Amino acid sequence: MLYFNEFENVSYKFGNEADSVIFQNISSYADIIDEVKNNITFLNVHTIQEGFRPDQVSIQLYGTPLYYWTFFLINDDIREQGWPLIRKELEEYCMIRYEDLYAMCTTTFPFSTIPASKE
């Protein structure tokens, strides 16, 4: 394919092979995504509802599940950090990742019931 002609060659070991081979680095990030993204004149802001998968959001926005990949292509946060976790998964992640800090910050009532500061 002509598209890959511009990709640099790298030394790469496939699987458990002892010797490396020269291979085109097809994992190179293509600048074209950012160029297209910067030239978009229409932007649709959408809040992802908790528990919705990418294919479900695609159905909401486009009427088909086939365009889920556009979210990862256009949205830097989703591409770098992954699809948003549901609250339970986020809490489990925080308990493991920030065990000491999470234990200090956990409350027994919802944040919405905390009275506002009187400053």
Mapped onto helix, strand or coil, the DSSP state of residue 38 is helix
pLDDT higher for 77 or 111?
77
Q: Which two tokens stand for residue 11?
A: 């030394």
pLDDT at 40: 64
Lowest mean pLDDT among 43-47, 56-60, 104-108: 104-108
Judge contact between 88 and 50, C-beta under 8 A.
no
Taking residues 71-88, report their average pLDDT.
84
- How far, rounded to the nearest angstrom, does the alpha carbon of residue 81 sit from its chain's CA centroid? 4
pLDDT at 103: 61
pTM of the entire predicted model = 0.51
Number of H helices, E strands in the chain: 6, 2
Taking residues 102-114, report their average pLDDT.
55
pLDDT at 39: 66
- What is the longest distance spanned by two Cα atoms in the chain? 69
